[in-house]
């Protein structure tokens, strides 16, 4: 890889923006495709697929063999609420290589004993969330059932373009939540981004089963084409 290309790759990675290096296997020619340019690239479909998979790979196009070297940011999971579901969800997400952070101002819940080896922030969302630099490669779940904690957290998630936003609660609970959030400036488009009730519909009952349902829905949102992911969540 040329020094100029490597410099650009490192700059994009430092900014947590995905980038793909396309190499012609036959002659070694390379070009770099930034995230903002993927939609208009001649290889748009192939680039988008490899990026969703988060893996590098070989493709054939126009009679050429091309290697797509994918550099994607490590996905994050921010869990608001140090509840029983979170105790199951955090280690499950870490096993899939997510960077996990748990936020809950209630120190009785947010304790190292309940969440060993998981970063904990025992602060209110307005203090805890801004320093995390939440971005598009962040999945965000609100699980406290307490509007004083969940609502400001969700408003922050809307601003940060998270690829997944979910909130615990029934449809009735969510309808009330939507009214509160709109009163605080959230748009209909913001509300529509919330996966609620959270998780894929698999009949989950226990905290561990609900955690599986949540992470399955997050995975579908991250890996599947958007329309397919919507069908899976329906």
pLDDT digits (tens, 9 = 90+) for 162-174: 999 999 999 999 9
| pLDDT band with cut points at 50, 70 and 90 for residue 230 | low
Assign 101 to helix, strand or coil.
strand
- When pLDDT is averaged across residues 129-146 and rounded to a whole number, the result is 96
Q: Exposed e or buried b for every residue in 172-188, given b needs 16+ CB within 10 A?
A: eebeebbeebeeeebee
Q: How many CB atoms lie within 10 A of CB 37?
A: 13
- When pLDDT is averaged across residues 42-60 and rounded to a whole number, the result is 93
For residue 194, with 0-12 CB atoms within 10 Å meaning exposed, 13-18 middle and 19 or more buried, which class applies?
A: buried
| pLDDT band with cut points at 50, 70 and 90 for residue 228 | low
- List pLDDT tens digits, range 77-110: 999 999 999 999 999 999 999 999 999 999 999 9
Contact (CB, 8 A) for 213 and 200: yes
- Residues near 176 by beta carbon (within 8 Å), at least 6 away in sequence: none
pLDDT at 227: 59
Question: What six digits make up the tokens of 59?
Answer: 């493709």
Q: How many CB atoms lie within 10 A of CB 140?
A: 26
Distance of alpha carbon 53 from alpha carbon 164, whole angstroms? 16
pLDDT at 205: 94
Distance of alpha carbon 143 from alpha carbon 120, whole angstroms? 15
CATH node for 76-223: 3.40.50.720
pLDDT at 234: 53
Contact (CB, 8 A) for 178 and 169: no
Counting residues of the chain whose pLDDT is more than 70, the rounded percentage is: 96
- When pLDDT is averaged across residues 35-56 and rounded to a whole number, the result is 93
Phi first, then psi: give them for residue 123, nearest 5 degrees.
-135, 165
pLDDT at 233: 54
Distance of alpha carbon 209 from alpha carbon 186, whole angstroms? 31
| pLDDT band with cut points at 50, 70 and 90 for residue 138 | very high
pLDDT at 36: 92
- Give residue limits of the domains in the chain: 3-71, 76-223
pTM value is: 0.88
pLDDT at 87: 97
- List pLDDT tens digits, range 164-206: 999 999 999 999 999 999 999 999 999 999 999 999 999 999 9
Phi first, then psi: give them for residue 100, nearest 5 degrees.
-110, 135
Distance of alpha carbon 4 from alpha carbon 218, whole angstroms? 35
Phi first, then psi: give them for residue 81, nearest 5 degrees.
120, 110
């Amino acid at each position: 890889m040329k020094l100029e290309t490597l410099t650009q790759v490192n700059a994009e990675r430092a900014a947590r923006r995905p980038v793909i290096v396309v190499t012609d296997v036959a002659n070694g020619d390379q070009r770099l495709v930034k995230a903002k340019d993927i939609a208009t690239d001649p290889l748009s479909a192939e680039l988008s697929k490899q990026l969703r998979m988060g893996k590098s790979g070989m493709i054939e196009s126009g009679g050429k063999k091309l290697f797509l070297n994918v550099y994607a940011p490590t996905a994050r999971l921010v869990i608001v609420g140090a509840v029983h579901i979170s105790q199951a969800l955090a280690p499950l997400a870490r096993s899939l290589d997510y960077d996990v952070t748990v936020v809950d101002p209630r120190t009785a819940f947010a304790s190292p004993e309940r969440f060993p080896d998981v970063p904990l922030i025992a602060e209110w969302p307005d203090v805890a969330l801004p320093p995390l630099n939440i971005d598009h490669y962040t999945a965000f779940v609100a699980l406290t059932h307490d509007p004083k904690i969940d609502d400001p957290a969700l408003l922050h998630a809307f601003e940060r373009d998270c690829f997944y936003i979910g909130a615990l609660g029934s449809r009735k609970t969510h309808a009330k939540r939507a009214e509160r959030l709109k009163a605080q400036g959230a748009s209909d488009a913001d509300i529509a981004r919330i996966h609620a009730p959270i998780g894929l519909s698999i009949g989950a009952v226990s905290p561990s089963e609900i955690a599986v349902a949540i992470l399955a829905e997050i995975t579908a949102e991250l890996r599947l084409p958007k329309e397919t992911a919507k069908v899976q969540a329906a």
